[in-house]
Amino acid sequence: MPPALLFKTIGVISRPRRANLSVVVPALLKWLAEHGLRVVYDEETACALPAPASGLSRDQVAAQSDLLLVLGGDGTLLAAARVAAPRGIPILPINMGSLGFLTSFTVDELYPALEETLAGRSSVSERVMLQVELLRGGSPVDQQHVLNDAVINKSSLARMIELELLIDGDFVCRYRSDGLVVATPTGSTAYSLSAGGPILHPAVEAFVITPICPHTLSDRPVVVRDFSCIEVKLASNAESAFVTLDGQKGVPMAEHDRIRITRSPQCLKLIQPPKKSYFEILRNKLKWGEV
């Protein structure tokens, strides 16, 4: 981590409508001001203040910040990652929700975590991201960078969809399923895990491709190198098919559209608790060994 002097402006991004924000935020802003730091915050954080205040958009917060403090759950962090990663800004995540694989600091650890981070003693995990392109007629019509996953799926009332998978130009197979998840190691504990995929350690240089409710039971998850080019072609009628990015943005697909997924040139700098290993976090979140 860089020394404290490089952190002059702290950006605060919060989960909307979280009741305990009204307790945490005023004290937090006071603490930051007492330590000589400039603070900018988003509209959700502004709503937690006792006096009326105007917040900025999350993109504006990131543009002015040296460090982002995220108060919320994994969904809030995923939204913050989209504005932090392109700028190389580290994120300090504080879990204000329940599960939170990525937001691994608790509220009780907020101020010790800030002190360690500002002193330059925190550890930073650099998380690989996906570059996802929607190709129509061979030309890109949309491009996004995501931290967790890209999911090609059907709507709730649609029939199974047919998808063709290619890795580095080689045909792999044709799936008939409810959809397909392509996940980073970070995203392997999200939708991919629920669909039966493996957990990948964040340091593993790989992506996991997991079919959702496949018609053929022998269709299993596949792990590939993270410098592979993954292409998924929609082979059937696509009136109800979408590509969903980090569970937050859905883009409708047309018949014969392709999704091209590669390793993004961006990565997310995620501050981690120095005394908690990845496996300790997994044990606690997944309740391994409990009866």
Active site residues: 74
CB atoms within 10 A of CB 83: 22
Q: How many helices (H) and strands (E) does the chain have?
A: 7, 16
Helix (H, G, I), strand (E, B), or coil: what is residue 188?
helix
Contacts of 114 (CB under 8 A, 6+ apart): 31, 32, 69, 92
Residues forming beta bridges with residue 272, ordered by sequence position: 123
d(CA 153, CA 242): 6
Angle of helix 110-118 versus helix 21-34 axis, rounded to 10: 30
Which helix (H) or strand (E) segment holds residue 32: the answer is helix 21-34
d(CA 286, CA 184): 19
